[in-house]
Amino acid sequence: MRKILFIVALWVAAAVSAQEFQCRVTINSDQIEGSNKQVFETLKTSIEEYVNQNKWTNLQFMEHEKIDCQMLIVVKSVEDNLYTCEMTLQSRRPVYGSSYTTPLMNFQDKNFNFTYQEYDQIVYQQNQFTTNLTAMLAYYCYLMLGYDFDSFQRLGGTPFYEVCEDIVNACQTASMGGTEQKGWLAFDSNRNRYALVNNLMDEAFKPFRQYFYEYHRMGLDIMADNVANGRARIADGINVLKEANRARPATFVINTFLDAKADELVSIFQQGTSAEKQKVYDLLMDIDPTRQNTYDKINQ
């Protein structure tokens, strides 16, 4: 009952002004012919206001606690007010005792499609599907909250992922065209919005989510005081990536983690011991061989 009440509180809170996010939106409309680009400026402003001014939780966020994120929307086509787009979302959080911010998400949605007319109101109504754009933005806000809270507390993001599941379920049954439904359906792709939250809520991936916490709180956040100990904690638990990948080969949540963390892992272990370098390099090459050029830098 407590969990249900908390989820309801999250949805109800969405109508109140707050400051959980500091989101910057860029809209690339270079592929769209025509000189009137004002609609894209209006859309950009509306999305930023929607993300940054809504209250997404019943918690109080200090200015320095806001989730720093950016959204790049590439418009591929516009026809009869249907926008066919790709969207890249990045979020990060500060590392304790340093000026460094660590990436939490680096996610590309190739089916960020929605119907929009200039000056349409982007308004989120809890427990009710309004438009695909509002639903997708709400999904990603709660997803970012989930990743952020998972990095500070073991499985702390679960209530937010549960809201993501509710949004997915609502969109799967909503009345909208096939282009807009892409990304929500289970059979559509194993790398879409449905697949990601399904992975995150799968019992098989609890060890990965616990490692996500340890990576950030027991690894990165102690490096200001002891770099070697923080690096060792990250290396000690990294086998969980391989175990999760074997349980669900080419799983989306592991790919998403490495999309965000590949360069950071290289930077961390370039200064590691020989044993740490070899262990981490071998594991990353086993589960993510397409990034060999990146991982080779560990041993340079």
pLDDT digits 0-9 by tens, 35-58: 678 999 999 999 999 999 999 999
Among 93, 83, 11, CA closest to 47: 83
Label residue 34 by pLDDT band (50, 70, 90): confident
| Residue 15 in this model has a pLDDT that exceeds 50 | no
Q: What percent of the chain has pLDDT over 90?
A: 78
Over residues 199-208, the mean pLDDT reads 94
Which of 178, 201, 224 is the endpoint of a domain? 201
Question: Considering its fold, how many domains does the chain have in total?
Answer: 2
| Residue 97 in this model has a pLDDT that exceeds 80 | yes
| Residue 8 in this model has a pLDDT that exceeds 80 | no
Pair (128, 84) in one structural domain: yes
| Residue 9 in this model has a pLDDT that exceeds 50 | no
Pair (82, 124) in one structural domain: yes
Pair (190, 281) in one structural domain: no
| Residue 72 in this model has a pLDDT that exceeds 80 | yes
Among 168, 79, 73, 141, CA closest to 111: 73
Pair (40, 168) in one structural domain: yes
Q: What pTM did the predictor assign?
A: 0.92
| Residue 159 in this model has a pLDDT that exceeds 60 | yes
Over residues 163-189, the mean pLDDT reads 91
Which of residues 65 and 162 earns the better pLDDT score? 162
- Confidence (pLDDT) at 245: 86
Among 143, 140, 151, 284, CA closest to 209: 151
Pair (227, 190) in one structural domain: no
- Confidence (pLDDT) at 51: 96
Pair (152, 43) in one structural domain: yes
Over residues 163-175, the mean pLDDT reads 93
Distance CA 156, CA 135 (A): 23
Pair (187, 281) in one structural domain: no
Over residues 67-83, the mean pLDDT reads 97
Distance CA 133, CA 180 (A): 9
In this structure, the number of other CB atoms found within 10 A of the CB of residue 93 comes to 22
Structural domain for 249, as ranges: 205-299
Pair (114, 167) in one structural domain: yes
Pair (251, 142) in one structural domain: no
Label residue 5 by pLDDT band (50, 70, 90): very low
Pair (89, 155) in one structural domain: yes
- Confidence (pLDDT) at 13: 43
Could you tell me which residues come within 8 angstroms of residue 5 by beta carbon, excluding any fewer than 6 positions away? none
Among 217, 87, 197, 194, CA closest to 148: 217
Over residues 179-187, the mean pLDDT reads 92
Pair (172, 31) in one structural domain: yes
For residue 79, the cross-strand partners are 82
| Residue 65 in this model has a pLDDT that exceeds 90 | no
The b/e string for 47-73 (b: 16+ C-beta within 10 A; e otherwise) is bbebbbebbbbeeebeeeebbbbebbb
Pair (41, 60) in one structural domain: yes
